[in-house]
Amino acid sequence: KNQVEQSPQSLIILEGKNCTLQCNYTVSPFSNLRWYKQDTGRGPVSLTIMTFSENTKSNGRYTATLDADTKQSSLHITASQLSDSASYICVVRETSGGSYIPTFGRGTSLIVHP
Amino acid sequence: DGGITQSPKYLFRKEGQNVTLSCEQNLNHDAMYWYRQDPGQGLRLIYYSQIVNDFQKGDIAEGYSVSREKKESFPLTVTSAQKNPTAFYLCASSYPRSMNTEAFFGQGTRLTVV
C-alpha cells in the first residue's frame, strides 16, 4: 500500500530560526511530490511541486528537495516567521491508469514562537 | 474570482440525521474530491469524481454518499450509517489527467454531531 510518512510530527522553533521537515514515501509509480501549507481551520495551499527529475526547488523562504532514489523529500524553511505556524503536508501522486491519485502524509505541525 | 467554495463552515448534526455538505467550484476542473481530516491524522479520501455523472469510492466511503450532476458541484451527504462523523471535511478540485496539476482546496466544513 502506498504510504507517505512525515517527521517530526510536531516542531516548535523560535522566530528567525531555520527548520527542516522530512517526508519519506513508498508511492509507486511516482508522478510528483507536492508540499502544502495548511493554516488551522483552513484548506491546504500548495507551496511547491517536485517532479522526478528535480532535486531542489525554492519558493521564497521555502526550499524543497527530492531524492527519488531513496524516496525522500525535505522542506527547509529559512528565517522563520510567526506566520509560518501551520501544518505542512507532503502529498505524493502516483500514476494509476492516468488518474494520478494523491496520497497524503499526516503533516508536521510547526509552531513558531516570538 | 475563481475558486472552490465549501458551505457551511460549521455544521451541527443530531445523531441519526443525514446532512449534506456543499462544494462548488468555478475553476472548470473535471476532477473533484472529498477528504476527511481528524486531529493528528492525514487527509483520507472519501470519494472522488473524474467527470460528471461518475464517481469512485475512496478509502473511507462507508456511511457517505455523493453525486456529480454538474461539473461545478460535488455535494457530500453524511448519512446516519457513518458511526463517527465528527471531523473536518475538505473538498478539492483539479484537472485529473494533467501530471503536475495542483489540487485546490476549499476552506473546509467542520461537522459536529451533538
SS (H, E, C) B28-67: CCCEEEEEEECCCCCCEEEEEEEECCEEEECCCCCCEEEC
The Cα-based distances of A75 to A22, A45, A86, B30 in angstroms read 7, 15, 13, 30
Tell me the residues of chain A between 11 and 30 that have a Cβ less than 8 Å away from chain B: none
Pairing assessment for the beta strands B31-37 and B44-51 based on DSSP bridges: antiparallel
Which helix (H) or strand (E) is B110 found in, with range? strand B109-113
> What amino acid is encoded at B12 in this protein?
F
- List the grid coordinates of A29: 509509480
* Coil vs helix vs strand at A83: helix
- Tell me the pLDDT tens digit for each residue of B35-65: 999 987 788 989 999 889 999 999 899 999 9
Residue A86 CB coordination number (10 Å): 20
Tell me the residues of chain A between 50 and 89 that have a Cβ less than 8 Å away from chain B: 51, 89
pLDDT at residue A95 tops 80: no
pLDDT at res. B41: 78
CB contact under 8 A, B105 and A44: yes
- Tell me the pLDDT tens digit for each residue of B65-114: 999 999 999 999 999 888 899 999 999 998 766 656 778 899 999 999 98
- List the grid coordinates of A72: 525522500
Residue-level length of chain B: 114
pLDDT at residue A98 tops 60: no
- Tell me the pLDDT tens digit for each residue of A27-62: 888 888 999 999 988 999 999 989 888 899 999 999
* Coil vs helix vs strand at A84: helix
